[in-house]
């Protein structure tokens, strides 16, 4: 489908003038801005399909996020489009680079019928509509009536009237129009709803941001006999799913001095008073002796520590008013917690770039990267940071495995054959059994 160029909009979403690209004072022409965004995505470290990149060149994002303004809408950034009563985001327009990666994971092609769970602004549905073309079909579902009305209006204004937008709980999919060639979930999932697997054609593919011990991974899944196996995995961070298939992670808040809003992995309990006292106390640092190339390797190490640290819980930072440890620019960020329900044993440790600590531990390199450190808090902080430092050395010894090398297998209910051996991390969810590992480490006892 070819979109039509809409009237320009101001930050309130009201039309300003006809279709001229010169209508927005001081702003780049939308067409040129779209071309620049597509160029940035082409230079992304991960090669992306040309059909997806061309779709980003065609779809006018500024119409879908009018509150951002035309000049900023084509930055490669995620934008919050709605917050709940507690002030936390309930919907966002995803970062275009992450959108492109997920669409590449989806292997979307002309003529495909695709179901999207989590409409948001409608921008992703429009991009997919360009990729599948006139012979394809895009159906998108959101649980929020306000977002559904907004997306319908934006899709209509940009000429994507053929996209079907439904207001429903996306956890139940779309049984009336199923099956689909592809299903994509754009909200953070803790479980895999049976409908998403059941409503795919035999050769179909599901892509979703899945929480694995509190870390979200965008995973592509395809059928492999009685189970489903991952085709790819990427670190990501999405607003968590609402509705019948929402996860058990409750939002928790700590007042000063941390002013921290967080969730615990898999709904694990935490002694909030003990955590508050730990964060207010003296910190201890353990240097990460393993050289890291940059933030991408830091994320891989963070994943390794979380996946292999059995018995620890993960705290995910949702908001840090006032810049707790100056981590506010780096969501989703997290810490590992030991003894979360025992005040006199609680230990917390975060892995962070050294230059983001309140007192940088090492000078910046010429490229701006200063290395990393483990910062511990609480009575158990010193022992926990020492343990994680040892695990960091093991990570380097086995080849620095990261998200892209991880293998995920999913068993639907009742499928108990060929269950994973003991070297897999196995997680039981209400709807499925998840198992994760790095294949090259099978049998080595490292993860």
**Cis status of the peptide bond prior to 332, with omega within 30 of 0:** yes
Give the E-state strand segments of 4-149 in sequence order.
Answer: 8-9, 15-17, 79-83, 89-93, 113-117, 137-142
Catalytically active residues are 93
Q: Is there a contact between 236 and 97 (Cβ–Cβ < 8 Å)? A: no
Half-sphere CA count of 327, side-chain side, radius 13 A = 24
Q: What is the CB neighbour count within 10 angstroms for residue 45?
A: 6
Closest CA to 208 of 247, 252, 160, 168: 247
Residue 239's alpha-carbon distances to 82, 305, 369, in angstroms, are 11, 23, 29
Return the residue matching tokens 């809003």.
261
Helix or strand or coil: residue 337? Answer: strand
Q: Are 336 and 306 in contact (CB under 8 A)?
A: yes
Q: Give me the helices (H) in 30-110, please.
A: 30-42, 50-58, 61-64, 70-73, 96-106
């Amino acid at each position: 489908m070819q979109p039509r160029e809409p009237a320009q909009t101001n930050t309130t979403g009201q039309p300003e003038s006809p279709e001229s690209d010169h209508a927005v004072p001081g702003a780049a022409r939308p067409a040129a801005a779209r071309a620049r965004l597509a160029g940035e995505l082409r230079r992304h470290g991960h090669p992306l399909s040309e059909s997806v990149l061309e779709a980003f060149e065609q779809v006018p994002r500024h119409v879908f996020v009018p509150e951002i303004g035309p000049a900023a809408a084509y930055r490669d950034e995620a934008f919050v489009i709605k917050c709940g009563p507690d002030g936390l985001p309930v919907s966002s327009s995803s970062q275009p680079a992450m959108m492109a990666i997920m669409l590449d994971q989806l292997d979307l092609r002309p003529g495909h019928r695709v179901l999207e769970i989590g409409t948001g602004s409608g921008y992703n549905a429009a991009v997919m509509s360009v990729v599948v073309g006139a012979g394809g079909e895009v159906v998108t579902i959101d649980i929020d009536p306000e977002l559904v009305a907004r997306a319908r209006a934006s899709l209509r204004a940009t000429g994507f009237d053929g996209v079907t937008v439904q207001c429903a709980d996306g956890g139940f999919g779309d049984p009336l129009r199923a099956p689909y060639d592809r299903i994509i979930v754009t909200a953070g999932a803790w479980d895999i709803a049976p409908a998403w697997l059941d409503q795919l054609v035999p050769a179909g593919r599901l892509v979703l941001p899945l929480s694995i011990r509190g870390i979200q991974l965008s995973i592509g899944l395809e059928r492999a006999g009685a189970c489903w196996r991952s085709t790819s995995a990427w670190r990501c961070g999405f607003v968590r799913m609402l509705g019948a298939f929402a996860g058990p992670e409750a939002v928790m808040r700590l007042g000063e001095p941390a002013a921290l809003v967080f969730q615990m992995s898999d709904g694990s309990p935490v002694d909030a008073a003990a955590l508050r006292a730990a964060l207010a106390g003296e910190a201890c640092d353990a240097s990460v002796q393993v050289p890291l190339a940059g933030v991408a390797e830091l994320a891989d190490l963070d994943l390794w520590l979380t996946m292999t640290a059995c018995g620890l819980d993960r705290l995910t930072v949702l908001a840090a008013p006032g810049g707790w440890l100056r981590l506010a620019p780096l969501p989703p960020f997290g810490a590992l917690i030991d003894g979360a329900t025992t005040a006199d044993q609680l230990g917390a440790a975060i892995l962070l770039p050294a230059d983001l600590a309140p007192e940088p531990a090492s000078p910046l390199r010429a490229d701006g990267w200063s290395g990393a450190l483990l910062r511990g808090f609480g009575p158990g902080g010193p022992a926990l940071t020492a343990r994680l430092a040892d695990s960091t050395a093991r990570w380097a010894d086995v080849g620095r495995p990261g998200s892209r090398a991880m293998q995920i297998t999913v068993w639907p209910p009742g499928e108990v054959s060929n269950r994973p051996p003991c070297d897999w991390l196995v997680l039981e969810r209400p709807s499925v059994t998840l198992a994760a590992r790095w294949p090259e480490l099978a049998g080595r006892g490292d993860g």
